[in-house]
């Protein structure tokens, strides 16, 4: 799974399904979420953060799974941030997405499973979750600002909100 680090020319980097990216002030990261869950980790002192676009809950031990799975995404993000000098102490997380886009959800209630798995993975890593915008049946467009750690969430028919 591809991982991009440190956004370059454009000030906003789109983070695709299964990807993770790191950004430092003044860069921003963005993703469009449905049943996927977006996880941000932010180091306030360094104004450095990461966004993962998690697709599925469990990697079942798959090597090199990167940000595709909840249980591999959190350690993957921590490793990326560590390369940029950021360690977990003082780091905070926000989680967004995990919608059920198809009425009753069909055979895979994947949004709900993703939320649970991401929450467990963050707890296991000892990272405090300080913001949530989860569930429901609408998609979300999110923008993470590496200067502040704030995440702007947009959904169809609703005013943007910031967490």
Partner 1 sequence: MTSLECPEKQRLDILRELLASATHDASAAMCRWTDGLITLSLDEGREIPLEDVTAELNLGDELLTMIVLSMESDIGGEMILTFDELNGRQLAASLLGRPVGNDPRWSELEKSALTETGNILGCAYVNAITRLIDHELVPSAPYFIQDFGASVLQQALAAQALTSDQVLICRTGFHKQGAELNWHVLFVPTAALRQSMENALHR
Q: Which of 86/100 has CB closer to partner 1? A: 100
Catalytic residue among 36, 37, 65, 96: 36
Q: How many residues bind partner 1 (CB under 8 A)?
A: 32
Site string for partner 1, 58-77 (x = CB under 8 A): ----------x---------
Task: Please indicate whether residue 36 is annotated as part of the active site.
Answer: yes
- HEC sequence for the chain: CCCCCCCCCCCEEECCCCCEEEEECCCEEEEEECCCEEEEEEECCCCEEEEEEECECCCCCCCCCCCCEHHHHHHHHHHHHHHCCCCCCCCEEEEEECCCCCCCCCCCCHHHHHHHHHHHHHHHHCCEEEEEEECCCCCEEEEEECCCCCEEEECCCCCCEEC
Q: Which part of the chain contacts partner 1 (CB under 8 A), choosing from 38-46, 77-85, 102-110, 119-127?
A: 102-110
55 forms part of the interface with partner 1 (CB under 8 A): yes
The residue within the footprint of partner 1, chosen from 25, 102, 129, 163 (CB under 8 A), is 102
Contact footprint for partner 1 (CB under 8 A): 1-2, 14, 16-19, 30, 32-36, 55-56, 68, 99-103, 106-108, 110-111, 138-141, 156-157
């Amino acid at each position: 799974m591809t991982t991009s680090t440190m956004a370059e020319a454009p000030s906003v980097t789109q983070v695709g399904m299964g990807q993770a990216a790191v950004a430092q002030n003044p860069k921003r990261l963005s993703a469009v979420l449905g049943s996927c869950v977006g996880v941000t980790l932010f180091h306030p002192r360094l104004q450095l953060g990461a966004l993962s676009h998690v697709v599925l809950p469990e990697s079942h031990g798959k090597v090199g799974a990167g940000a595709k799975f909840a249980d591999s995404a959190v350690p993957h993000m921590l490793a990326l941030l560590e390369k940029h000098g950021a360690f977990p102490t003082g780091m905070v997380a926000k989680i967004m997405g995990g919608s059920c886009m198809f009425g009753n959800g069909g055979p895979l209630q994947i949004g709900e499973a993703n939320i649970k798995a991401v929450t467990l993975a963050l707890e296991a890593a000892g990272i405090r979750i300080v913001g949530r915008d989860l569930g429901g049946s609408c998609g979300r467009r999110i923008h993470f600002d590496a200067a502040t750690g704030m995440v702007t969430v947009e959904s169809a028919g609703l005013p943007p909100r910031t967490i």
